[in-house]
Amino acid sequence: MRKSEVVWIALALVTVLAVLPGRAAAAELLTGASVILGTSERLNDDLYAAGNVIEISGEVTRDLFAAGSMVTVNGRVGGDVTAAAGTVRITGPVAGSVRTAGGQIDVTAPVGWDLAVLGAGSVTVGQTATIGHDVAMVGAGMVTIDGTVRGSVKGTVGTLIVNGRIDGDIDVEAERIELRENADVRGALRYRAPQPASIAPGARITGPQEYTPTPGAEQRQPQTFAQRVLGWIGMVLLRLAWALVAGTLLVLALPHQTARAAETLRLAPLASLLWGIGLLVGVPILVILLAITIVGLPAALFVLGLYVAVLYLSQVLLGIALVRLVPIAAVRGERRLTLWLTMLLGTTVVLLFRMLPIPFGWTFWWSLIIGLLGLGMAWTAFSGIGLPQRQAVAVALSSAPAARPSPLELSEEQEPGASSRQPAEGRE
């Protein structure tokens, strides 16, 4: 699993869990590059930990919520463990459930209730581990169960290897299933896979066996070059339609603000980039800090929604900004029609450029640049911090040519009785 995916899963888990009722307002919050709870320490409360390396060797009497690069739980947790990280290791007893997402997950200690896994690359339930109830998996890569599961094993998994005891059923959809010599399944074996399970002679299955064949990768018809091209074109057109609809709504609702945000790329490119980097990292941390309190929860949800919206609209803002870099004054107006035409051209170019089938993570890196610049431009235009002058954007926009006003507009702007053809200083 890529680090970017882990970060988003961590943010989603913490945000969703903050919505649930509980004792979040009284929780302990620990953040930093390294978060360590020593073996002699005891926390009589919930613990929220965020950092690069998190190591819990002491005792947490209630729930533990952790998000980082590596999370290790060596001590005892009296409640549930909810963790999202690249590597999660549970080597100490957990009285409640373990809910986790990450790249590698190892459980070698007793878990009182469920083990729930979301989107892990590999999961290992060691010989010394006992899961008190079920093991539930969604999108796991390889799951190896050498320990004891008092309940059932269910969900979707790439490869399931069982070499331990399962008191309940196995009910999974997988690419491959293997039951080794020491496997002891005391319930039913129900699975959906491209091929029958590999069952060693010494493996025991007490309940019935139900196998439902599913098409595997080798059974699917390979796509022709024309089919792949048509599929790519269809995906690009769909995403382009979404972006253009969103951009049209943005231009119709906020024409002046959109033009000012796009203009900051020309006036303050460095400030926009630096603000974008800071916001991309800082806003998720702010959302987590707000979400762990009952009072800050509405603000956390509002900030998170605004953050996601601006990230998506970044392709629109950058598209408009790139077109406005062209040295033609006519494309720098604030009129809705001008902005809309600029948005159509710029957004199409940006999205097509991002969707090019280039390897080496092209789509990810280009999307990252779009998001950084979009966040930075929006904030720079909103705050004015980093612009050469506070009114620089307004001055730049006012220099753009505008359509000739109608006689009604002229009459409204002039004093009563003034001639529309005679300058003010020439009046008697």
3-state SS track over 65-116 = EEEEEEEEECCEECCCEEEEEEEEEECCCECCCEEEEEEEEEECCCECCCEE
What's the alpha-carbon Rg for the chain, to the nearest Å?
29
Name which of 43, 58, 67, 137 is nearest 288 in CA terms: 67
- Return the DSSP state at 428: -
**418 lies in some domain:** no
Q: Domain boundary at 184, 213, 242, which?
A: 213
Q: Based on the fold, state whether residues 326 and 399 are members of the same structural domain.
A: yes
Q: Which carries the bigger pLDDT value, residue 265 or residue 420?
A: 265
Give the pLDDT band (50/70/90) at residue 27. Answer: low
Helices 336-354 and 362-383 cross at an angle (nearest 10°) of: 150
415 pLDDT above the threshold of 50: no
409-424 b/e (C-beta count within 10 Å ≥ 16 → b): eeeeeeeeeeeeeeee
Q: Based on the fold, state whether residues 321 and 181 are members of the same structural domain.
A: no
Mean pLDDT for 333-339 is 85
**Which residue range(s) make up the domain with 251?**
225-405
* pLDDT value for 389: 64
**177 lies in some domain:** yes
96 pLDDT above the threshold of 80: yes
**283 lies in some domain:** yes
CB 91 within 8 Å of CB 73 = yes
Q: Based on the fold, state whether residues 90 and 176 are members of the same structural domain.
A: yes
Q: Based on the fold, state whether residues 81 and 192 are members of the same structural domain.
A: yes
Percent of the chain predicted with pLDDT > 90: 51
283: exposed, middle or buried (Cβ count in 10 Å: 0-12, 13-18, 19+): buried
* pLDDT value for 219: 52
- Return the DSSP state at 374: H
- Torsion 240-352-5-308 (CA) sign: negative
Q: Based on the fold, state whether residues 116 and 195 are members of the same structural domain.
A: yes
Q: Using one digit for the tens of pLDDT, what is the confidence trace for 107-117?
A: 999 999 999 99
Helix, strand counts (H, E) of the chain: 9, 21
Q: Domain boundary at 213, 239, 268, which?
A: 213
**419 lies in some domain:** no
Residue whose entry in the numeric block shows the structure tokens 């998506």: 312
* pLDDT value for 1: 42
Q: Based on the fold, state whether residues 73 and 190 are members of the same structural domain.
A: yes
What average pLDDT is seen over the chain? 82
Domain count, the chain: 2
**232 lies in some domain:** yes
Q: Based on the fold, state whether residues 265 and 188 are members of the same structural domain.
A: no
Return the ∠ at Cα 269 (arms to 392 and 366), rounded to 5°. 145
Separation of alpha carbons 4 and 376, rounded Å: 20
Q: Based on the fold, state whether residues 241 and 362 are members of the same structural domain.
A: yes
Does pTM surpass 0.85?
Answer: no
Q: What φ, ψ does residue 224 adopt, rounded to 5°?
A: -75, 170
251 pLDDT above the threshold of 80: yes
Q: How far is CA 40 from CA 43, 57, 60, 71, in A?
A: 10, 8, 11, 19
* pLDDT value for 147: 96
Give the pLDDT band (50/70/90) at residue 354. Answer: confident
